[in-house]
Amino acid sequence: MGMYIIRRMLLAVPLLWAISLLTFILINLSPMDPAVVVLQAQGVPSITDELIERTQQQLGLDQPFLVRYLNWMLDCLQLDFGNSYITGQSVWALIGPAFLNTLRLTLVSAVSIIAVSVLLGVLCALQAGRVLDKSVRTLAFILTAIPSYGLAALLVWYFSVRLDLLPTSGMDSYRSYILPVLIITISYAGLYFRNVRSSMLSNMNKDYVLYGRASGLPERVITMHILRNSLQVAISIFCMAIPIILGSTVVVENVFAWPGLGSLSIRAILSRDFPVIQAYVLILAVSFVIFNAISDMINAAMNPKLRNGL
């Protein structure tokens, strides 16, 4: 197992490098000259070629591509992502707190998603084909076809405006979490519970269940065996889900004015604040790779057969 962890971590290194290179290239592909963006943000009335040249020098844009890439990468490794073109603040000071806010929302949502989808998945599998199973699946089907922003607006209108129970936006108390978490849970649990259900169902038809039943094991024990085997799928999906949610809370954050990465990135995109966009993409891609590796490791710990795969 120790060897597996080391090998899996080594595998992530070239991927991380490729991501950093790709992020850097992407930003450099932009049709907009960063120097112009900075000058516009500073409100410089007339942008002359000379001024652009000077700003380019200040930003180090006159250096060759590889030198800039190396400098940028070394800075990033020290969590120095440069300064925002618009506000001049350090990007880390902007992104750090936002990242924590989004992470909070993500973790609370992940717990809720796991609870709901395991519960529904197991219930539906045990009741497969009966009324409960059918109605839950139909409901999930409809709910996942509703765009999350539409659902969010609907719930805000009902709970916050009509009933005046919950705050419409912000991140003040635990009550601010209820609606955003609910929306994220509905969107994801509606998909994930089907994975739990189908992996339960496929395990129920395996020989070991038949043998267990034939040798007179109580149903409860058999169910526990099935659960243990089918939750493996669930775990790998949930590990994957965390970075996915981390990167896709944009809409929910936007609707609820959550002071997180999503809101920050939209603002950065609309104002073409390249260092912020760059750092945002890099941070999310890196956490994606890290969580991916963790989920592989957990899976390998649970299923020794997978350890030889690398």
Partner 1 sequence: MNVWKNSAMDKMGQLSLIVVVGVIIAGLSAPVLAPHDPLAVQMSLRYAEPSWEYLLGNDQLGRCILSRLLYGIRPSVLAVLVVLLLSVLIGAILGFLAGYFRGKTDTWIMRICDVVLSFPGYVMTLAMVGILGVGLENILIAFVLTKWAWFARVIRTSVLQYTEMDYIQFARTTGMGHGAIIRRHLIPVTFADIAVTASSSVGSMILQISGFSFLGLGIQAPQAEWGMMLNEAREVMFTRPEMMLPPAIAIVIVVSAFHFLADSLQVALDPRLRQSGLQPDRLPDQQEVAVRL
- Residue of the chain from 94, 249, 256, 297 that contacts partner 1 (CB under 8 A): 249
Q: With binding defined as CB under 8 A, does residue 153 bind partner 1?
A: yes
What one-letter code names the amino acid at 186? I
270 binds partner 1 (CB under 8 A): yes
Q: Is 102 in the site for partner 1 (CB under 8 A)?
A: no
- Tokens matching residue 217: 């094991």
Q: Which of 93, 119, 142, 165 binds partner 1 (CB under 8 A)?
A: 142
Closest approach of partner 1 to the CB of residue 182, in Å: 13
CA torsion 46-48-53-58 (nearest 10°) is -20
- Binding span for partner 1 by CB under 8 A among 41-49, 53-61, 220-228, 236-244: 236-244
Among 7, 53, 130, 157, binds partner 1 (CB under 8 A): 157
Q: What angle separates helix 91-126 from helix 175-204, to the nearest 10 degrees? A: 40
d(CA 159, CA 256): 13
* Buried/exposed 275-305: b ≥16 CB within 10 Å, e otherwise: bbbbbbbbbbbbbbbebbbebbbebbeeeee
Minimum Å distance from CB 204 to partner 1? 13
Q: Does residue 309 touch partner 1 according to CB under 8 A?
A: no
Q: Which of residues 71-100 bind partner 1 (CB under 8 A)?
A: none
Q: Work out the widest C-alpha separation in the chain, in whole angstroms.
A: 87
Residue ranges in 164-223 that form contacts with partner 1 under rule CB under 8 A: 184, 187-188, 191-192, 194-195, 197-198, 201
> In this structure, what is the dihedral angle of CA atoms 190, 249, 104, 26, given to the nearest 10 degrees?
130
Cβ 195 to partner 1, closest distance in Å?
Answer: 6
30 lies in the binding site for partner 1 (CB under 8 A): yes
Residue ranges binding partner 1 (CB under 8 A): 15, 18-19, 22-23, 26-27, 29-32, 141-142, 144-150, 153-154, 156-157, 161, 184, 187-188, 191-192, 194-195, 197-198, 201, 237, 240-241, 243-245, 247-252, 254-255, 265-266, 268-270, 272, 274, 277, 280-281, 284-285, 288-289, 292
